[in-house]
Structure 1
Amino acid sequence: MLPDLTCLKLDTDRLRLESISDAYTDAIFGEFTPTIATYMYPAPAQERTDTEQFVTEAVRNNRQGRDLTMVILDRQTGEFLGCIGLHNLTEPRPAFGIWVKESAHMHGYGREAVRALKRWADHYLNYEYLTYPVDSRNMASRKIPESLGACIVNQYDGTGGMGQPLTLITYRIDR
């Protein structure tokens, strides 16, 4: 049985992952920029109300146990660093999604957050394997599943939310 996904907190040495809430709307709106979205499907919100809608939907999906969307915070200072999610929790192959704000790149926060959420999934979910979709050009993000021993299971072309072409690869992450 899943714990309450609307108030979950996971700690690592440096990070706290906390269930998304309205309290982080401004931080998400300000930090999910076109640069961050370069290799992603979603486009940055044009208006704060778009981010409000995203947060409301994420909280609803957490409540219903469909997804787990969390914010990534510096454990010592509480500084907002980004967002992480594990989507389609009831499916045999839940999918990771993650972004870290630009000023927090190259510190290993993404890897640390994914490892923490994978540990949680190993304990609470009955899954075949986890997936990690990423644009093939996003080398920093590709290193995250590779650090977990993941292998590529699929590749396909797509279009991101800003109209940019994407060549997505999907990694398989086993227990």
Structure 2
Amino acid sequence: MDDLADIYPYVTTTLTRYMIWEPAQSFKELEQIGQKWLIAETKYTDRHFVLRDKETHLFMGLIGVHHLHTSTPEFGLWIREDCHNQGFAKEAIYEVFRWASSHPVQYFLYPVAVENQPSRKLAEFLGGTIAGYKTERKYESVIYHIPPFDIG
């Protein structure tokens, strides 16, 4: 909840053009969403990671691992727009992927807009292959299946 003040200014309509959700219309609405995140974490169904610069601690984005209680958890990721194309997402998703792979997982789902090439490259970097397509309200989506990281 302490991170919401840093998160709020960066969730814009241009950022969310490739996401199924829309930006919160107020900080109070974001606080309500944050409360739902905490409940999901308490129930151990979801985990949210706040991404910060290692040196400056500047807020950079979020990664979610959703449906952890299933054999096919789902990744969600966003990086604030002024930090795009700098390699932060790749480094962060890899570390979260390694962590999440310590759970019993058949594969991870990674849905992404067909047109969102940077996110598609992240899924492929993690070993993801296209398993299907889905029509979302705002865009066409491709669903990647990502095998768990081989910890052995």
TM-score (structure 2 length as normaliser)? 0.94
Q: Whole-Å Cα distance in 2 between the matches of residues 148 and 69 of structure 1?
A: 19
- Shift, 1:128, TM fit: 0.5
By how many angstroms is 1:70 displaced?
1.5
Distance 1:135 1:45 in 2: 20
Runs of 4+ in 1 over 6 A off after TM superposition: none
Q: Quick check: 1:142 aligned with 2:115?
A: no
* Aligned-residue CA RMSD (Å): 0.8
Corresponding residue to 1:172 among 137, 145, 150:
145
CA–CA distance in structure 2, aligned partners of residues 96 and 79 of structure 1: 22
**Within-5 A mapping of 1:1-175:** 22-123=1-102, 125-159=103-137, 165-175=138-148
Of structures 1 and 2, the one with the larger relative CO (CA 8 A, separation 6+) is 1
Conservation of the 8 A alpha-carbon contact between 1:81 and 1:104: yes
Give the drift of 1:121.
1.2
Q: CA deviation at 1:114?
A: 1.1
Gaps of 5+ in 2: none
Q: Normalising by the residue count of structure 1, what TM-score does the alignment of the two structures yield?
A: 0.82
Q: Which amino acid aligns with 1:132?
A: Y
Q: Secondary structure at the match of 1:23?
A: coil
Give me the whole-angstrom Cα distance separating, in 2, the residues matched to 1:141 and 1:39: 10
- Percent identical pairs in the alignment equals 31
C-alpha displacement of 1:115: 0.6
- Number of residue-to-residue matches in the alignment: 148
Where in structure 1 are there 5+ consecutive unaligned residues? Answer: 1-21, 160-164
